Amino acid sequence: MIMDTIPLFHNRHIVLGVCGGIAAYKVADLASKLTQAGAHVDVILTEAATKFVGPVTFAAVTGRAALTDTDLWRHDQHVPHVQLGEKADLLIIAPATANTIAKLAHGQADNLLTVTALAARGPIIVVPAMDGGMWSNAATQANVAMLRERGFHIVGPAMGRMA
């Protein structure tokens, strides 16, 4: 399957935003597969994501340092979120929590992932992963509808056990 995707991802720059949810551990496999397909994958972990999986895991599978909110304030890079947003061919946010979906829908930019999303020039794919009640909540559904109207691509969520 990976060989079939090589032309699609080869030499593409993908920013992979990981939010805090139990499904975060599954995203390490996605990062690995994208890297194997020839993509240059930069991973941004929200603070909550680091409670489930650490930056070292993503650095090991991508060969690139994973970024956290502390990197937003680094002095050795000029505006890292703008650089990431401008050079990304694709931004994937997976798992996307209800909290991050709400932030994106309302333009709240309070962490490295959300400011990068605001700076992104390319397509954004959001992969929701949350409890069924949270997913079906009217607020979440309104936020997802708002993102779709703005051109975000929503994939899923899948039903089943995340852990």
The CATH number for 145's domain is 3.40.50.1950
Contact predicate 51/20, CB 8 Å = yes
Task: Give the span between the Cα atoms of 13 and 40, in whole angstroms.
Answer: 5
Which residues pair with residue 17 across a beta bridge? 44, 93
So what's the pLDDT on residue 146? 97
- Non-local CB neighbours of 59 within 8 Å, separated by 6+ positions: 65, 66
Burial class (CB within 10 angstroms; exposed 0-12, middle 13-18, buried 19+) of 12: middle
- 8 in any annotated domain: yes
- Residue 99 DSSP label: H
Rounded to the nearest 10 degrees, the angle between the axes of helix 112-119 and helix 80-87 is 50
Q: pTM for this one?
A: 0.88
Checking if the pLDDT of 108 tops 60, the result is: yes
Q: Which two tokens stand for residue 149?
A: 């109207």
Range of the domain at 16: 2-97+107-152
Residue 158, in any domain of the structure: no
Mean pLDDT (the chain) is 87
Give the tens place of pLDDT for each residue, 41-65: 999 999 999 999 999 999 999 999 9
Block residue for tokens 């997976």: 94
Question: Is 102 a member of any domain?
Answer: no
Tokens of 60: 């090991």
163: in domain:
no
If one counts the domains in the chain, the total is 1
pLDDT tens digits for 18-37? 999 889 999 999 999 999 99
- Predicted confidence band of residue 78 (pLDDT cuts 50, 70, 90): low
Instruction: Answer with the residue of higher pLDDT: 68 or 92.
Output: 92
d(CA 78, CA 81): 9
Helix (H, G, I), strand (E, B) or coil at 72: helix
E strand or H helix at 17, and its extent?
A: strand 13-18
Amino acid at 153: H
In a domain, 159, yes or no: no
Residue 155 has pLDDT above 50, yes or no: yes
